[in-house]
Chains A and B, each alone.
Chain A
Amino acid sequence: MSIVKPVNQRAWWLVLPVLVSVAFSAVIPLMTVVNYSVQDILGPNQSVFVGMEWYKEVLRDHELHGALVRQLTFSGAVLLIELPLGVALALAMPTSGWRASLTLVVFAMPLLVPWNVVGTIWQIFARGDIGLLGYALTQLGIDYNYSQHPADAWLTVLIMDVWHWTSLVALLAYAGLRAIPHTYYQAAGIDGASRWAVFRYIQLPKLRSVFMIAVLLRFMDSFMIYTEPFVLTGGGPGTATTFLSQYLTQKAVGQFDLGPAAAFSLVYFLIILLACFVLYNFMKEVGTGDVQ
Chain B
Amino acid sequence: MARIQLVDVAHSYDARAGAAIRSGATPSWALEPVTMSWDDGGAYALLGPSGCGKTTLLNIISGLVRPSRGSVLFDDHAVTALPPEARNIAQVFQFPIVYETMTLFDNLAFPLRNRGWRAAEIRKRVHEIAGILELDADLGRRAHGLSAEIKQRISLGRGLVRPDVAAVLLDEPLTVIDPQVKWLLRRKLKQIHQQLGLSLIYVTHDQTEALTFADRVVVMTHGEIAQIGTPDELFETPAHQFVGHFIGSPGMNFLECEWHAGTARVGGVALESSSTTAPGTHQSLSMGIRPEYVQVRQAHGANCLPARVLSVRDEGIRAMVELEIAGHSIWARLRAGPRLPAIGTAFAHFPVERCALYADGRRVA
Bound together, the chains give a CA A194 to CA B115 distance in angstroms of 11
Closest to A193 in B: B114
Contact mask A178-203 → B, CB, 8 Å, 1/0? 00010110110111111001000110
Q: Which residues of B contact A190 (CB under 8 A)?
A: 62, 84-85, 89-91, 111
Q: Using Cβ atoms and an 8 Å threshold, which residues of chain A touch B114?
A: 191-194, 197
Q: Please report which residues of chain B, range 88-131, place their CB below 8 angstroms from some CB of chain A when the two chains form the complex.
A: 89-91, 93-95, 97, 99-102, 110-111, 114-115
Given A186-B64, A186-B93, check contact A290 B99 (CB 8 Å): no
Residues 69-92 of B at the A interface (beta carbon under 8 Å): 83-85, 89-91
Are B93 and A192 touching (Cβ within 8 A)? no
A288 within 8 A of B: yes
Q: Known contacts being A190-B90, A191-B110, is A183 close to B97, with CB within 8 Å?
A: yes
Known: A184-B97, A201-B101. Contact between A189 and B141, CB under 8 A?
no
Q: Which of A191, A194, A290 has the most CB of B within 10 A?
A: A191
For the complex, give the distance between the alpha carbons of A192 and B115 in Å. 7
Q: Does A287 contact B (CB under 8 A)?
A: yes
Bound: A37/B122 CA distance, A: 66
Q: Which residues of B contact A202 (CB under 8 A)?
A: 99
Do A186 and B84 contact each other (CB < 8 Å), given the known contacts A193-B110, A201-B99, A202-B99? Answer: yes
- Cα of A204 to Cα of B101 in the assembled complex, Å: 10
Q: How far is the CB of A285 from chain B (nearest CB, A)?
A: 11
Q: Kindly state the separation between the CA atoms of A191 and B110 in the bound complex, as whole angstroms.
A: 7
- Please state if A187 and B97 are interface contacts (CB–CB under 8 Å): yes
**Interfacial chain B residues near A191, Cβ < 8 Å:** 110-111, 114, 158
B83 A189 Cβ-Cβ under 8 A:
yes
Instruction: Provide the residues of chain B in CB contact with A287, threshold 8 Å.
Output: 101
Contact across chains for A187 and B93 when beta carbons are under 8 A apart? yes
Are the C-beta atoms of A192 and B101 separated by less than 8 Å?
Answer: no
Q: Is B142 interfacial (CB 8 A cutoff)?
A: yes
A205 to B100, CA, bound (A): 7
Residues of A within 8 A of B95 (CB): 181, 183
Write out the residue numbers on chain A whose beta carbons fall within 8 Å of the beta carbon of B142.
Answer: 288-290
Tally of chain B residues near chain A (CB < 8 A): 26
B111 contacts across to A, CB distance below 8 A:
190-192
- A-B pair number, CB within 8 angstroms: 55
Q: How far is the CB of A165 from chain B (nearest CB, A)?
A: 28
> Contact partner of B145 among A183, A194, A205, A288, CB < 8 A?
A288
Report the nearest A residue to B89, measured CB to CB. A190
Query: Which A residues lie within 8 Å of B64 (CB)?
Result: 186
Structural contact, A192 and B99, CB atoms closer than 8 A: no
Contacts of B102 in A (CB 8 A): 201
0/1 interface trace, chain A 187-226, chain B, CB 8 Å (1 if under) = 1011111100100011011000000000000000000000
* B144 close to chain A: CB less than 8 A: yes
Q: Taking the nearest CB of chain B, how far is it from the CB of A11, in angstroms? A: 35
A183 contacts B93, C-beta separation under 8 Å: yes
Task: Decide if B85 touches A189 in the complex (CB within 8 Å).
Answer: yes
User: A288 to chain B: which residues have CB within 8 Å?
Assistant: 100, 142, 144-145
Nearest Cβ on chain B to A66's Cβ, whole angstroms: 40
Q: Inside 8 A of A194's CB, which chain B residues have their CB?
A: 114
CB distance from B83 to the nearest CB of A (A): 7
With a 10 A CB-CB cut-off, give which of B64, B94, B141 has the most chain A CB atoms. Answer: B64
Report the minimal beta-carbon distance from A245 to chain B, rounded to whole angstroms: 38
**In the assembled complex, how far is the CB of residue B13 from the closest CB belonging to chain A, in whole angstroms?**
15
Q: How far is the CA of A194 from the CA of B95 in the complex (A)?
A: 22
Chain B residues with CB under 8 A of A205: 99-101
Q: Is the CB of B85 within 8 A of A290?
A: no
CA of A133 to CA of B287, assembled, Å: 87
Min CB–CB distance B103 → chain A (angstroms): 8
A97 to chain B, nearest CB (A): 13
Chain B residues within 8 Å of A187, by CB: 91, 93, 97, 155, 158
**Chain B neighbourhood of A184, CB < 8 A:** 97
Contact B85 A192 (CB under 8 A): yes
Return the contact of B141 from the options A192, A204, A290 (Cβ within 8 A).
A290
How far is B91's CA from A290's CA once the two chains are assembled, in angstroms? 28
Alpha-carbon distance between A291 and B358 when the two chains are bound, in angstroms: 65
Question: How far is it, in angstroms, between the C-alpha of A189 and the C-alpha of B89 when the chains are bound?
Answer: 11
**Interface hits, A247-292 → B, CB 8 Å:** 287-290
Cα A211 to Cα B144 in complex, Å, equals 18
CB contacts (< 8 Å) of A192 on chain B: these are 85, 111, 114-115
Q: What is the CA–CA distance of A186 and B102 in the complex, to the nearest angstrom?
A: 18
Q: How far is the CB of B326 from chain A (nearest CB, A)?
A: 50
| B93: A residues at CB distance < 8 A | 183, 186-187
Bound CA span A288–B145, Å? 9
Complex: A246 Cα to B158 Cα, angstroms? 57
A154 to B99, CA, bound (A): 42
Q: In the complex, what distance in Å separates the CA atom of A184 from the CA atom of B89?
A: 16
Kindly state the separation between the CA atoms of A192 and B64 in the bound complex, as whole angstroms: 14
Which of A187, A190, A201, A205 has the largest number of chain B CB atoms within 10 A?
A190
Complex-state Cα separation, A192 to B155, whole angstroms: 14
- A290–B94 CA distance with the chains assembled, in angstroms: 27
Q: Which residue of chain B has the shortest Cβ distance to A206 in the bound complex? A: B100
Name the A residues within 8 Å of B115 (CB-CB).
192
Which chain B residues lie closer than 8 Å to A181 at the CB level? Answer: 95
Min Cβ gap A140→B in Å is 45
Residues of A within 8 A of B90 (CB): 190
CB distance from A196 to the nearest CB of B (A): 11
Residues of A within 8 A of B85 (CB): 189-190, 192
Q: Which 10 A-B pairs have the closest CB atoms?
A: A192-B114, A187-B97, A191-B111, A201-B99, A190-B84, A205-B101, A189-B85, A183-B93, A190-B91, A288-B144
Having A191-B110, A288-B144, A290-B142, one finds 20 other A-B pairs with CB under 8 Å, namely A181-B95, A183-B94, A183-B97, A186-B64, A186-B84, A186-B93, A187-B97, A189-B83, A189-B84, A190-B62, A190-B84, A190-B85, A193-B110, A201-B101, A201-B102, A201-B110, A204-B101, A205-B101, A288-B145, A290-B141
